[in-house]
Chain A
């Protein structure tokens, strides 16, 4: 009976087994990369909003402090989306007939909320608290990026758990003096690690990495 397969077919068979394993690993790896990609995280994607609100104009151009609108950021887990009344402090007089601001005026007239699209959306099994971060030297821009340069708001950070843990493991790389927390153009000094270590002990910052810190 003639041989159907040459001797090299043995090696070929072995390679295909190896190849199948490789392909399987590659597919899983690819899926992992896609799930965590900026695309899937919607990072750097400006969201459409009922009113095209520009942080660039209000923060960068006019120099309005974050806390003028996000009033509860220093004492609450939630940074607060400003009430329509806060918009109207100025916009009852400025651009008071602009069609772009009609949803704001309508909300003020009727008491109906403006339905903003959430930009930084954490999964709901994560319990994040703004106040503790802001009061311990984590700058707004550290997580939210240069909001003063965003004509429409986008999510600047990946918001993966790995990204959170990166800072929770090494807070000294990111903390800044408390009086610089709300500054948009703060740049870390060349001796950031030394400064960071000093601030970490001064502000009693703990490197909290247990699961229940964020997942409760």
Chain B
């Protein structure tokens, strides 16, 4: 009987040996994790120069630089449709609106809290800049604004350009710019009237 209980106790103790976290914490690399192998302690390695990510072939053409033959592109090199504008609106609100504001007049929340107030998009100077100029400002930065090339991929940059152009148009539009079929909405048809619109 003694021997039996001793064996039972010992086998119970064996269960404790299972209480380890080896499966939880495996010796493998996870994104932006720690490495004891590399000198800088990072498992994420710097990208070797010249590396091209899939779908991001940057062969230095005008689509990637926003310029051709030393001139900024005068047109957006993508099909501009409602999908692109919606994408541009979404990306603008994520990346640009903190400083530029949702309407582009430069009074975003972060601008109000102390970064250099960005330029108002609705000035003659900025209304007349070509799309390629806006593109390269997003890609390379401008003045106090850092570059957004790492945060915003190429297609999204052009989508934002399209949306910025639409924002500028919207400020300057007259009733004649609105398709006849849509005009009813402006004077309180299917949707609530716009602020300041005649009732």
A residues with CB within 8 A of B: 61-65, 67-68, 71, 77-78, 80-81, 83, 85-86, 88-90, 92-94, 112-113, 115, 123-125
Contact = CB atoms under 8 A, between A and B. Distances in A.
B41 A68 contact: no
Given A94-B113, A94-B115, A67 B94 contact: yes
B24 A68 contact: no
Contacts of A93: 114-116, 144
Interface of B: 23-26, 28, 30-32, 34, 40-42, 93-95, 98, 109-110, 113-116, 144-146, 150-151
Given A67-B94, A68-B98, A85 B150 contact: yes
B40 A71 contact: no
B144 A65 contact: no
A131 B98 CA distance: 24
Contact of A62 (B23, B30, B34, B110): B110
Interface of B is mostly: loop
B114 A94 contact: yes
A85 B146 CA distance: 9
A124 B109 contact: no
A125 B23 contact: yes
Given A94-B114, A112-B40, A124 B98 contact: no
Nearest to A179: B90
A163 to B, nearest CB: 17
A65 B94 CA distance: 5
Contacts of A71: 150-151
B41 A113 contact: yes
Please provide the 9 A-B residue pairs with the shortest distance between their CB atoms, ordered closest to farther. A78-B31, A65-B94, A124-B26, A123-B24, A89-B146, A93-B115, A62-B109, A94-B114, A67-B94
B28 A81 contact: no
B109 A63 contact: yes
Given A90-B115, A124-B25, A63 B146 contact: no
Given A62-B110, A88-B146, A124 B24 contact: yes
25 contacts: A62-B113, A63-B109, A64-B110, A65-B93, A68-B94, A68-B151, A71-B150, A78-B30, A78-B31, A78-B32, A80-B32, A81-B32, A83-B150, A85-B150, A88-B146, A90-B110, A92-B146, A93-B115, A94-B110, A94-B114, A113-B40, A123-B24, A125-B23, A125-B24, A125-B26
Nearest to B113: A94
A123 B26 CA distance: 9
Nearest to A95: B114
A81 B41 CA distance: 16
Nearest to A68: B94
Given A62-B110, A68-B98, A90-B98, 5 more contacts: A89-B145, A94-B114, A113-B42, A123-B24, A124-B28
A61 B30 CA distance: 32
A186 B181 CA distance: 34
Contacts of A81: 32
B104 to A, nearest CB: 16
Contacts of B30: 78, 124
Nearest to A62: B109
Contacts of B95: 68
Nearest to B91: A67
Nearest to B44: A113
A204 B34 CA distance: 37
B154 to A, nearest CB: 14
Nearest to A71: B151
B117 to A, nearest CB: 11
